[in-house]
Structure 1
Amino acid sequence: MVRLLLISALITVTAALASALETREGWVIHDTGKSFDELVGAVRAAVKKAPIAVVTQASASDGARSQGHEILGNRVFGLYRNDYARRMLAASVASGIEAPIRLYVTENADGTASLSYKTPTAVFLPYFDEGGDALRDLATELDGIFDSVAEMAIND
């Protein structure tokens, strides 16, 4: 009975993890054939070539491992640059809560990894009335940069 409950719990957790990267409005999701570590390295390399920087990182899987637990890999990269922040804040102080904008690398059960992110336009959409064309223009510029980083990371 315990074994059946454990299997059921594992299936439930696996299903929840699988559904976490379903298509969502404003998201871009790239499934890759790369391993988690390969994709994390590829994201770092791509960012170094782009006009943006990694300003924050977080990993629940690293934290879990430090406490003796193993979960599928995940890493969140916060990307931004100070000149983008100044432009954003000049347009809308409230939009500052959204920076840095994040890329999300997740390990899949089959050993591959996915790269996903909310487009900067989707992130800043709630602030467009306040931020006007200046914030829209910044979001569009950042959309192109995020697309470029993603393409470099998945295709290197």
Structure 2
Amino acid sequence: MRILAAGLIVACLTIAAPARAENPTPYPDTVTIETGKPFGPFVEAFAKAITSNGFNIVGIACANCAIQGVFGETVPGNRVFLFFKPAYARRMLAASVAAGIEAPIRVYATEAADGSAHVTYRKPSAVFGAYEVPDLTAMGRELDDHVARIVADAGAGS
């Protein structure tokens, strides 16, 4: 009887559990671009585009590198590029110290099944606009243009 009761509880919980589907863009103003460019050349071009547009790369996270190194497993390529510019940091902090958690800008490059690079990022105007500080909102809009230019520059090169 206990086994039957336990089985019924598990069945009810399984049936009642909500279906879980991934939402690839859970935040408003998330941009995803299929570059059509092979992943490896794209990430190299992206790093160059960041610096050629006057930004500093403050970090590059590579989960597939870590997984390969630690577990010996191969997973599709991915990089999180973290970049910013001191002039924007200065403006951001003058407008809101709390907004400092939003810097640096993060852009996620992933390798699709066909080997091409996809890029995902939240528009800086959405990130900084959430603070409802006019100077941050204006800065976010400027950064939208810079990030779009960086992505375009990286995709335009070969």
Check if 1:106 corresponds to 2:106: no
One-letter amino acid of the counterpart of residue 139, structure 2: L
Equivalent positions of 1:50-61 (< 5 A) are 50-61=53-64
Runs of 4+ in structure 1 over 2 Å off? 19-25
**Equivalent in the alignment of 2:75:** 71
**Equivalent in the alignment of 2:138:** 137
Aligned 8 A contact 1:21 1:29 in 2: no
**Equivalent in the alignment of 1:148:** 149
- In structure 2, how many angstroms separate the alpha carbons of the residues matched to 1:57 and 1:123? 20
**Equivalent in the alignment of 1:9:** none
1:20 to 1:39, Cα distance in 2 relative to 1, 3 A: farther
More helix by share: 1
State percent identity of aligned pairs. Answer: 40
- TM-score under structure 1 length normalisation: 0.80
- In structure 2, how many angstroms separate the alpha carbons of the residues matched to 1:40 and 1:99? 21
One-letter amino acid of the counterpart of residue 59, structure 1: C
One-letter amino acid of the counterpart of residue 103, structure 1: V
Aligned to 1:32, what secondary structure does the other structure show? strand
Structure 2 unmatched runs, 5+: 1-20
One-letter amino acid of the counterpart of residue 142, structure 2: E
Structure 1 unmatched runs, 5+: 1-15
One-letter amino acid of the counterpart of residue 112, structure 2: N
Deviation by residue 1:13-59 (Cα, 9 ceiling, x = unmatched): xxx8xx66458521111102212111101101211220222111101
Aligned 8 A contact 2:129 2:136 in 1: no
- In structure 2, how many angstroms separate the alpha carbons of the residues matched to 1:45 and 1:83? 20
- In structure 1, how many angstroms separate the alpha carbons of the residues matched to 2:76 and 2:34? 15
Cα root mean square deviation, aligned: 1.8
1:97 to 1:23, Cα distance in 2 relative to 1, 3 A: closer
**Equivalent in the alignment of 2:51:** 48
- In structure 2, how many angstroms separate the alpha carbons of the residues matched to 1:23 and 1:99? 19
Check if 1:33 corresponds to 2:55: no
Aligned residues: 136
- TM-score under structure 2 length normalisation: 0.79
Aligned 8 A contact 2:111 2:118 in 1: yes
- Of structures 1 and 2, the larger Rg is shown by 2
